[in-house]
Every structure is written in structure tokens, then in C-alpha cells.
């Protein structure tokens, strides 16, 4: 029965019998028959049949909810047993929003020191994709904004606060400044993430609040692309401080803090709200708490010294 629920989940993900079958490592007739069996066992139609995949019936949607739960539990069971036998080992799938990609290393590196047998897969996703992927058990944890747009039901661990910089050549218009305002930035032609990214939406709203109208000269869903363009000295972009540092500043490229207002958003780890967590996920949360509390202490120190 558990296999059949896997089929159903795959079908929900792929919305296509053939691809779902491939994802499950079986042929299309096998998956087709599996779904049929599930329908027979439950005595209800789960999939709306037509010449092609249309969607699920209400019963099918409800069954999917249960499948998520049951599969999550059965995977946790399996992983827990493996952890008991041979220590923490296995695969940890983490998705992060592009602006947080560089900081994933701060999480994975100490994790790996504690648990050398764990392998990682890191995905770059939009914050919305992260939430659905968490739901569908495609990833174990996500790194995304905690405080901007509504999250689903997840457990959160704050990691750090994102402050924004103008990344530009020292020879460019604002290149010699020590700080700039959002109003000034709004007049610079920028390279920005695509609008499906939350970071883009945040920056747009900040620019608009400062009275400007965002008109990016170049869009990409990859921070690498943006940085590569800035690096030529001919383009400018807005990036989180942390990311700019990681990507490395040269003599000619400067990261200039943007003030007025100093916009801050919290980035953190999100995991499914299931109790108990898989051992791998639990260890990741522990790691995140360490980093998070470090940064909180840091932030507090800064605040105190600032006063």
C-alpha cells in the first residue's frame, strides 16, 4: 500500500502518468495499475479520468494529504533505524532562495564536521517552490524568508538578517559613496532577480516606497549571472550584504550599504512541522539554532554597542 501512495504522490508532482512512473522507477502500466488498485482498495475514484491526466477528485486530494503524512512517517522510521545502526548517514535535501545560496555552506560545513557520513543536495528555488517541495517531501528543509510573505505550516529557525547593498563599480555614478539611499538606488539601472523571486519583490517594494519605479536592465533567476554582470564594471545590482561578501569584492567592485530606510528581512531554516523530525533534519535544526543564536548574540552586541 505504501508503494501505491508513492505512486499517487508522484502523480501529483508530475501530473503525468508516464513521468510519474519514471520518477518511481516503474513503467507507466505499472503505475496506472497501482493507482487503480488504490482506488479499488479505498472504494473511491481518486483521479479524474479523461484522455489525459486532468486532476484529482476531492477524495484524491484528501488521500494525498494522508499519503504525505503516512509516507513522511514511514521515511522517518526508516531513517531513524539507519541512524541507530550506523550513525547519522544518508541524504539531506535542502532548498534555498538564491540570495541565501551562499550561506548554505555555513550550515553544511559544521554539520559535516559532526556527521561526516551525510551527503547533501542543495536546490535553488523560489520561496514558493520551497514550500510546495516541503509539502511533497521532495526536500527535507528549506532556507527562505521568515517574515515577509506568509509561510505555510512549517517550523522556523532564524538564521540571519538580510541587509541590502548596492553592488557597483567604483567608477560608476554612486561608486565613491559610503552609503546610499533607496531613493538614489531607484535611479540606477539595475540587474535584478526575476519577479518570481521574493527578493525581487522585496527590493521592488523598497524602491517604490522610496518614490522610484524599478526598471531592471537585466533579469535572471541566478545570482551568479547578476554578479558576473556587475563584475564587468558596466552594471549594478542590489544584493544582500552577506552574499556580496561571499562572492568577493574586488578593488573595482564595491558593496555600498543602502540606508534610509535600512531594510532588514530575516532568513531562516524551515522544516515540516512533523513530530518527531527525521534524525537528519533534527541535526540540521540543531545546527541552525547554533548559527541563529550566534547571530542573535552578535546582533544584540551590535545593538548594545550602538546604544
Residues that bind DNA (CB under 7 A): 3, 16-18, 25-30, 32-37, 47, 49-53
The Cα–Cα gap between 280 and 195 comes to 33
Of 3 and 219, which has the nearer Cβ to its own copies?
3
Residue 182's nearest CA partner among 218, 215, 206 is: 206
Total chain residues near its own copies (CB under 8 A): 25
Of 10 and 236, which has the nearer Cβ to DNA?
10
The Cα–Cα gap between 98 and 194 comes to 11
Neighbours of 1 (CB within 10 A): 12
Of 46 and 167, which has the nearer Cβ to its own copies?
46
- Helix/strand/coil (H, E, C) string of 214-273? CCCCEEECCHHHHHHHHHCCCCEEEEEHHHHHHHCCCCCEEEEEEECCCCEEEEEEEECC
Binding at 80: pick from its own copies, DNA, none (beta carbon under 5-8 Å per type)? its own copies
- CA dihedral over 200, 202, 203, 208, signed as positive or negative: positive
Of 51 and 305, which has the nearer Cβ to DNA?
51
Binding at 116: pick from its own copies, DNA, none (beta carbon under 5-8 Å per type)? none
Binding at 168: pick from its own copies, DNA, none (beta carbon under 5-8 Å per type)? none
78 interacts with its own copies by CB under 8 A: yes
Whether 249 contacts 123, CB under 8 Å = no
Residue 259 burial by Cβ neighbours in a 10 Å radius (0-12, 13-18, 19+): middle
63 interacts with its own copies by CB under 8 A: yes
Neighbours of 173 (CB within 10 A): 14
Binding at 17: pick from DNA, its own copies, none (beta carbon under 5-8 Å per type)? DNA
Among 18, 48, 73, 250, contact with its own copies (rule: CB under 8 A): 73
Among 2, 54, 105, 217, contact with its own copies (rule: CB under 8 A): 2
Q: Which residues bind its own copies (CB under 8 A)?
A: 1-3, 41-44, 58-59, 62-63, 66, 69-70, 73-74, 76-78, 80-82, 84-86
Amino acid at each position: 500500500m505504501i508503494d501505491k501512495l508513492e505512486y499517487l504522490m508522484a502523480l501529483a508532482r508530475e501530473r503525468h502518468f508516464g513521468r510519474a512512473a519514471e520518477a518511481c522507477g516503474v513503467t507507466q502500466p505499472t503505475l496506472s495499475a497501482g493507482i487503480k488498485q488504490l482506488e479499488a482498495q479505498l472504494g473511491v475514484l481518486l483521479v479524474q479520468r479523461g484522455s489525459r491526466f486532468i486532476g484529482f477528485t476531492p477524495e484524491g486530494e484528501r488521500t494525498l494529504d494522508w499519503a504525505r503524512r503516512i509516507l513522511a512517517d514511514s521515511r522517518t522510521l526508516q531513517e531513524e533505524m539507519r541512524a541507530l545502526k550506523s550513525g547519522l548517514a544518508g541524504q539531506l535535501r535542502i532548498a534555498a532562495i538564491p540570495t541565501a545560496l551562499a550561506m548554505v555552506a555555513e550550515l553544511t560545513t559544521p554539520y559535516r564536521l559532526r556527521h561526516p557520513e551525510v551527503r547533501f543536495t542543495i536546490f535553488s528555488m523560489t520561496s514558493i517552490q520551497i514550500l510546495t517541495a516541503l509539502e511533497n517531501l521532495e526536500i527535507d528543509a528549506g532556507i527562505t524568508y521568515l517574515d515577509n510573505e506568509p509561510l505555510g505550516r512549517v517550523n522556523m529557525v532564524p538564521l540571519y538578517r538580510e541587509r541590502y547593498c548596492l553592488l557597483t563599480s567604483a567608477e560608476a555614478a554612486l561608486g565613491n559613496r559610503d552609503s546610499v539611499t533607496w531613493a538614489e538606488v531607484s535611479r540606477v539601472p539595475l540587474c535584478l532577480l526575476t519577479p518570481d523571486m521574493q527578493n525581487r519583490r522585496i527590493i521592488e517594494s523598497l524602491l517604490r516606497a522610496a518614490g522610484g519605479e524599478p526598471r531592471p536592465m537585466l533579469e535572471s533567476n541566478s545570482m551568479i549571472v547578476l554578479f558576473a554582470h556587475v563584475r564587468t564594471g558596466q552594471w549594478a545590482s542590489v544584493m544582500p550584504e552577506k552574499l556580496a561578501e561571499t562572492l568577493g569584492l574586488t578593488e573595482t567592485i564595491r558593496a555600498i550599504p543602502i540606508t534610509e530606510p535600512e531594510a532588514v528581512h530575516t532568513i531562516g531554516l524551515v522544516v515540516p512541522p512533523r513530530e518527531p523530525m527525521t534524525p537528519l533534519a533534527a541535526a540540521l535544526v540543531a545546527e541552525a539554532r547554533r548559527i541563529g543564536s550566534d547571530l542573535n548574540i552578535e546582533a544584540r552586541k551590535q545593538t548594545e554597542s550602538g546604544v
